[in-house]
Amino acid sequence: MVGGGGGIEERQEALDEGCGHGLVVLRRGGERSLSSARSPEPGAAVGVTTRLTRRLPRSTECLPRRPQHPLGGHLMSAVEHGFKAEVQQLLNLMIHSVYSDREVFLRELISNAADALDKARFLGLTRSDLIESAHESPAIRITVDAEAKTLTIEDDGIGMTEEEVIDNLGTIAKSGTRAFLEAAREAGAEAPELIGQFGLGFYSAFMVAHEVVVETRSALPEGTPVRWKSGGEGTYTLEEGSRGERGTAITLHLREDAAEFAEDHRVSATVRRHSNFLPWPIFVGDEQANSGKALWVEPPSQVTEEEANAFYKSVATDWSDPARRIHVSVDSPLQYSALLFVPRNRPYDLFHADARRGPKLYARRVLIEENAQGVLPEWLRFVRGVVDSEDIPLNVSREMVQKTPVVRKIGEALTKRILKDLNRWAEAPEPEPEPEPEPAEGEEPALPPPPPATYDDFWRNFGMLLKEGYYHERSAWGDQLLPLMRFNAMSHSDGSALMSLADYRGAMPPAQDTIWYFTAESREAALASPHLEAFRKRGWDVLLLTDPVDEWLVSVLDAYEGVPLKSVSRGELELDDDDEEAGERADLSEFAPWVKELLGDRVKDVRESSRLTDSAVVLVDDDDGMSANMERLLRQSQTDASGFKVQRILELNPRHALIRNLSDLRAQGQEEAAADLARMLYDDALLLEGTVTEPAAMGRRLQELLVKASKAALS
C-alpha cells in the first residue's frame, strides 16, 4: 500500500558489505536491508568474516541469518529499529504544520492504496508470475471497529517486501513509485498514471493514531508476509507477518480525540469528499462509498448534458443548471483535465471577503484542495468545477501545492481557455428561447424550461470581476478581457441592453472623436445628471458606469483601438457652441470670479460651462482630481471620511435665466441678495449630484431665502 513495488532489486553478496557465512547485512539509516546473503566458498568462512567485518562502515551491521519461512524468505522475531532523525521531524511537521485538516490522513492512505493497485495492474501486463489477488475485483476496503477504536485500510495491490518496508516506512525521501516508474521507462513502458511521490502521506496516519500496524505481502513470487508497527515515538518494530494474500492492510489504533473515524458514516463522508472519483472502488464495510467515475477525464463528446449538469450541482451546491461548460483535456507538455462551469446565478457570498471560491483541485483523482483559490486568478473566482493533473505532487501541503510551477502553468493555460470560451460566447448571437411544449389533452401544462443563459446575463452577474481582472492583470490578459466588457449606455432607454466598446465605436457619428463615459452610483442617478445635457442635444451616446470597480477601471483604460476614453464630468469640455443662442448669454467675466470669492475654498474655481443646456449649475471634476463618485465610494468605506473632501469646479450656464438674473442683480449693486442666491446655487449643485455634506446648513439657508421671498410676495 505504501510505496510498495520498488521495481528492480539489487541483491549483492553479503561479502560485498563485509559479512560472511550465515550473516546478513542491515544498512542502518534505511538505505538498504538484505534478508539473505549467499555464503562464501567453503573454507573461508570465519577468518574471512572476522577480517572483513572490521572494515564495515559505521552504518552497517551484520546480523545472524534467520530460519526459512515456509512460504519463502525468513521468519522474523520482532526487531526494533530507530527512525532517522528527519522522520521524527516529519511526524511533528505532519501533525502541527503541513495539513490543517486532520481528515486528509484518509486521503493519503487511500491514495497510496490506489497507487499500489495501479502498480499491480501495470506490472501484471508484463509479468505472469505475480501472486494472484484473493478478490475477484481489485478494490480498496476500509473497515472500522467503534468499540476497539480502530480503522483499517486494505488493498490487494503490489504489496511490499521486507526491504521495501524498511525503505518506504523507515525512511523518507525514498519513493517506491519513482523507482518503479524509472524502471518501467528504462524498459520502454509509459505509465503516466504512476507519476507521484509518496513517503510523506503515510506518516499523516499519526495525526489520528497512537499506534499504526502495517501487514503486507509483496505480489512478487518471493514475497513473504511482513508486519511493521510503530507508535510514532521514534522507533518501529519489524517482524514476520501473518498476511497470506498479496497487498497491504494498515490498521490505525485511533486516539481518543479521533474516535469519530471509527464510525462508518464519518469515514464514508470523508471518502466521498476527498477520494470520490478515484478509479478503484472504495468500500466502507460492505457499501461502496465512491462513485468511481471522473467525468472530467471522459472524452467531452461522451459526457451528456444531464451528466454534466448533475455533476455541476454536486460540485457547486447549486440547484440551477450551469450557464456554460468548459471541458479541457491536455496531455502535453503537462497532463491535466478540467471540467469547469460558469454559474447561471451569482452566489450570494461572491463578494464576501471570507468566502472560499475556486475549483476543486485533484492530483490523479485525489482531492488536494476543496476550493483551490490559487489555481485560477482571483477575478475568475466565479468559475466552479474540477481540475485534475497527474503531474501535481501529492506530498506537498495544500497551502504550498498551489504555488508550485506545475499548478501555476496549468492555471495560466486554463485562464486562457476560459477567456477564449467567454469571447466565443460574447460574439455569438443571442439564443432563441425554446417554444413551450403543448400539453396533452387533459394534462396540466408543464413548467416552461428556463430561458437560455445569455452573455448579457452573465455580464450582469460577473462582469465586475472581469473588470477587476483588467485592472490587476491588463498586461497579461487585457487583450482577451477588453472585448468581453459590456456597459450600460444613455441611448438604451430601459437599460435592458448592454453595449461593448466595439459597438460604441461603430456607432459614433463622424464629428465625434472620443468615447464618453460617466461614473455614477446608479443608472437612474446618471441619467438625471446635468453632465449629460450637452451630449443628449448633440446625439452623442455616453457609457454609464455604475459598478464601484469602474472608477479603478477607467484609471487604467484611457483608450480603445486608438480612440480616447474621457469622462463627461472631468475637465473643461471643448464642444462647439450654438451660435443661434449666442445673444442670450450672460457676461460672466466679472460674475464668475465674484462667486468664487464668495464660496472661498469650497470650490477650486468657478467658470462658464459648455456642457449645460437646461440646468443652471453643475460641479465638475478637476482634470487631475478625484471624481465625485470616487469620493463617495471612499467615504462609504471609511469610518472617518474627513480626508476625502475634494475641491470641485463650479460651472455656470450663461444662457440660464437664473444665472442671467443673478449677474444682473449683482451688477445693479444688490450684492447681498445676489450672494444669498449664489450660495443657494452652490447648494443646488451639490443636491443635483447627491453629495450634500452639510444638510442642516443648507436647510437654514433655504428657510431664510423662503422668508425673504414670502415677504417680497406680500409686499
| The pLDDT of residue 16 is above 50 | no
Which of 291-295, 313-317, 643-647 has the weakest average pLDDT? 643-647
Q: Rounded mean pLDDT of 416-441?
A: 82
pLDDT at position 171 is 63
Q: Is 278 exposed, middle or buried (0-12, 13-18, 19+ CB in 10 A)?
A: buried
pLDDT, tens digit (0-9, with 9 covering 90-100), for 431-477: 666 666 666 676 666 666 677 889 999 999 999 999 999 999 999 99
- What is the three-class DSSP state of 544? strand
Q: Rounded mean pLDDT of 649-668?
A: 92
Looking at per-residue pLDDT, the higher value among 172 and 160 belongs to 160
- What is the three-class DSSP state of 245? coil
Residue 393 to residues 166, 194, 400, 406, 431: CA-CA distances in angstroms? 23, 11, 10, 9, 43
pLDDT at position 36 is 34
- pTM for this model (two decimals): 0.67
- What is the three-class DSSP state of 327? strand
- Work out the pLDDT band at 599, boundaries 50, 70, 90: very high
pLDDT, averaged across the chain: 80
Segment holding 210, helix H or strand E: strand 209-217
Looking at per-residue pLDDT, the higher value among 232 and 614 belongs to 614
Looking at per-residue pLDDT, the higher value among 15 and 447 belongs to 447
CA-CA distance, 388 to 359, in Å (whole number)? 10
Picking from 25, 171, 3, 206, the residue whose alpha carbon sits closest to that of residue 84 is 171
- Work out the pLDDT band at 65, boundaries 50, 70, 90: very low
pLDDT at position 523 is 93
pLDDT, tens digit (0-9, with 9 covering 90-100), for 317-362: 787 899 999 999 999 899 999 999 999 999 888 887 777 788 989 8
CA-CA distance, 430 to 452, in Å (whole number)? 9
Residues 526 and 544 sit within 8 Å (Cβ to Cβ): yes
pLDDT at position 502 is 96
CA-based radius of gyration for the chain:
38
pLDDT at position 710 is 74
Looking at per-residue pLDDT, the higher value among 232 and 21 belongs to 232
Q: Is 554 exposed, middle or buried (0-12, 13-18, 19+ CB in 10 A)?
A: buried
Q: Rounded mean pLDDT of 162-173?
A: 76
Which of 70-74, 155-159, 338-342, 647-651 has the weakest average pLDDT? 70-74
| The pLDDT of residue 411 is above 70 | yes
| The pLDDT of residue 66 is above 50 | no
Percentage, residues of the chain above pLDDT 90: 44
Residue 451 to residues 22, 463, 714: CA-CA distances in angstroms? 82, 20, 64
Q: Compute the Cα dihedral for 154, 159, 161, 167 and give only its sign.
A: negative
Residues contacting residue 582 through CB under 8 Å, at least 6 positions apart: none
Percentage, residues of the chain above pLDDT 70: 76
pLDDT, tens digit (0-9, with 9 covering 90-100), for 217-269: 999 988 899 999 998 877 889 999 999 899 999 999 999 989 999 999 999 99
pLDDT at position 583 is 53
Cell numbers representing residue 204 in the block: 499523516
CA-CA distance, 436 to 447, in Å (whole number)? 9
Please report the DSSP string for 82-138 in residue order.
Answer: EPPHHHHHHHHHIIIII-S-TTHHHHHHHHHHHHHHHHHHHHTTT-S-SPPPSSSS-
Looking at per-residue pLDDT, the higher value among 109 and 73 belongs to 109
Walk me through the domains of the chain, giving residue ranges and CATH numbers.
14-77 (no CATH), 85-288 (3.30.565.10), 295-427 (3.30.230.80), 487-567 (3.40.50.11260), 581-714 (1.20.120.790)
Q: Where are the alpha helices (DSSP H) in 98-248?
A: 104-123, 162-169, 176-186
- Work out the pLDDT band at 603, boundaries 50, 70, 90: very high
